[in-house]
Amino acid sequence: MTGLWPGLPGLVVLVPLLAALAAAVAPTAQMAAWLAFGGATGAFALAAALPWSPEAGLGLLADPLAIHMAVLTAFVAMTGAWVFRRQGLGRHGHVLSCALLAALLLALLADDIALTWAAVAAAVLLLVAALRPAGGTAAWTLFLAGAAALALALLGTLMLALATLPVLGTGLDAVRWTQLADAAPHAHGPMLTLAFVFLLLGYGTLAGLVPLHGGLAAAEGQAPMLGGLGALLPGVALVTLLRARSLLTANPDAMSPGPALLALGLLSLLLAAMALRRQHTAWRFLAVAGGEQVGVVAFAFGLGTGAATFAGMLHLTLLTLLRAAAVQGFAGAAQLKGSADFAALGGLLARHRALGLTLAAALVALAGVPPFGLFTSGFLIVMETTRQAPLLAIPLGLGLAGCAWALAARMGGLCRQAPTPDHGPVPPPIALLPAWLHLAVALWLGLAMPQPMVEWLARIAETFR
């Protein structure tokens, strides 16, 4: 269907946007919270229907990669909205979370590199706005890192359009992902290389990759941005990099994007492995642990084979689910104990068994320990590394082991330490339900990944290897 009809992809973006508008004028914060939950649920339901009706309009696309990430993003937003419905985000927070979801979905579904950039820019500004009421320097730190990253990403985008100029000209087609993919083999190789370097610096910063990773991690470490929705931004940035990588791979004159992704991914992993044990607050700890897993995903994308891209996408999917589960669990614990410091969160298992077990399971799963799915994807990445670049398997293995050790040690502290006094309400089991759902999916994907899921990820890997 053409014309002004936005198609199902357009509705996926519009529903949370309309929910944001409705939440802004809702008479009470409680109603705004329900509207936010409704908007995220609607977006998830529509995104889940995309594989059966992918016709897009208004500059949107719905290829398997976009659909996969849109479903994942909307699902995490939906469960997050359920949890944070009762945790005092306030009307401002609910409106921003809906608008952020719309921006992230637009960035994922946009068939236009300029629109992708604009949507990511909107997402960064919304996160800054969400951090602003908390005071301190978190909002400024995020803004500075985000704005610099956006400037670099825009420079890369400009160069990408220049690189395909001899093939696509200057019309609107020159900025469409679908057209760029067709034009990439005949594009100007050196210019394409230059474009990728700036896209990697820009979107890599937003994903949390070194060398400019500090800003995002520092901001995220001070508070869970919009109930953990901020943690979805790295996934969007990584997917954009995956698209850019496939353009370079298709061009015989461009540099191979693999080494740069491998280097940044490995450095991010190793830095996180060294820093993880020194983190004393839950938010900072989760930000660093997320940076570690983002490094692993970038490393997998850098390997570039179909199997590595498959494993990287699986790792990204599980990382997003598990990080959200951990944020939701820690948010309940922080409300209960009145602080997100690990010193105040000790002994949860003894006094609040359900909450303690949820957090312990989330940390075990994030550590990449079987039977959870992150072990499967990590194992696939290590096996593919030993096949493609055996020497790199050593630092990769060391980094993964270092992070797993730090996560296990932190879990031990939470379980074994003497119980600390409570300062808030105990989260009811229904508030932990989304975290259990995330953990169950991660467990399911680890123990018995369904064949349709394997075929779906293989299709993405085949297209973007």
Partner 1 sequence: MLQPDPATVAEGAHLLGGAALALAFALLTRRRLGAMLLVVRAQSVVAAAAAAWQAWAAASGVLAALAVAVLLGGAVALPWMLRRQAEAAAEGPVDAPPVPAAMTAAAALVVLAILAVLPAHLPGLPPLRENLGLALSAVLVALLVLPTRRAALPQLVGLLALANGVALAAIAAGTYLAVPLAIAVVALFGIVAAGLAALPGDAA
Phi-psi region of 26 (alpha: psi -120 to 50; beta: other; left: phi over 0): beta
Minimum distance from CB of 5 to partner 1 (Å)? 21
Distance CA(377)–CA(311), nearest Å, equals 5
Q: What's the token pair of residue 37?
A: 């939950």
Of 22 and 58, the one with the shorter C-beta distance to partner 1 is 58
Q: Where are the beta strands (DSSP E) in 102-170?
A: none
List, as one string, the DSSP characters of 302-356. Answer: HH-SHHHHHHHHHHHHHHHHHHHHHHHHHHHHHHHHT--BGGGSTTHHHH-HHHH
Q: Which residue's CB is nearer to partner 1, number 152 or number 307?
A: 152
Cβ nearer to partner 1, comparing 139 with 321: 139
Amino acid at 343: A
Residue 166: CB minimum distance to partner 1, A: 6
Residue 166 or 428 having the CB closest to partner 1: 166
Q: Which two tokens stand for residue 81?
A: 């909205």
Q: How far is the CB of 237 from partner 1 (least distance, A)?
A: 16
The CB-of-203 to partner 1 minimum distance in angstroms stands at 14
Give the residue with the Cβ less far from partner 1, 159 or 272.
159
| Distance separating alpha carbons of residues 378 and 390, to the nearest angstrom | 15
Least CB distance to partner 1 at residue 159 (A): 8
**What token pair was written down for 356?**
């303690």
Nearer to partner 1, 68 or 188 (CB): 188
Residues that bind partner 1 (CB under 8 A): 112, 114-115, 117-118, 121, 125, 128-129, 132, 136-137, 139-140, 142-144, 147-148, 150-152, 154-155, 157-159, 161-162, 165-166, 170-172, 174-175, 188, 190-191, 194, 197
Coil, helix or strand at residue 122: helix
- Taking the complex as a whole, the smallest distance from the CB of residue 188 to partner 1 amounts, in Å, to 5
C-alpha–C-alpha distance, residues 386 and 131, integer Å: 42
DSSP-derived letter for residue 223 is S
Judged by beta carbon, residue 29 or residue 197, the one nearer partner 1 is: 197
Instruction: For the CB of residue 243, give the shortest distance to partner 1 in the complex, in Å.
Output: 17
Closest to partner 1 by CB, 152 vs 367, is: 152
* CB burial string 191-225: b at 16+ within 10 A, e below: bbbbbbbbbbbbbbbbbbbbebbebbbbbbbbbbb
Cβ atoms of 37 and 81 closer than 8 Å = yes
The least distance separating partner 1 from the CB of residue 145, rounded to whole angstroms, comes to 9
**Residue 165 vs 263, nearer CB to partner 1:** 165
Nearest approach, Cβ of residue 261 and partner 1 (Å): 18
Q: Which residues contact 146 (CB under 8 A, 6 or more apart)?
A: 124, 125, 127, 128, 205, 206, 215, 216
3 state DSSP class of 110: strand
Q: Which residues contact 182 (CB under 8 A, 6 or more apart)?
A: none
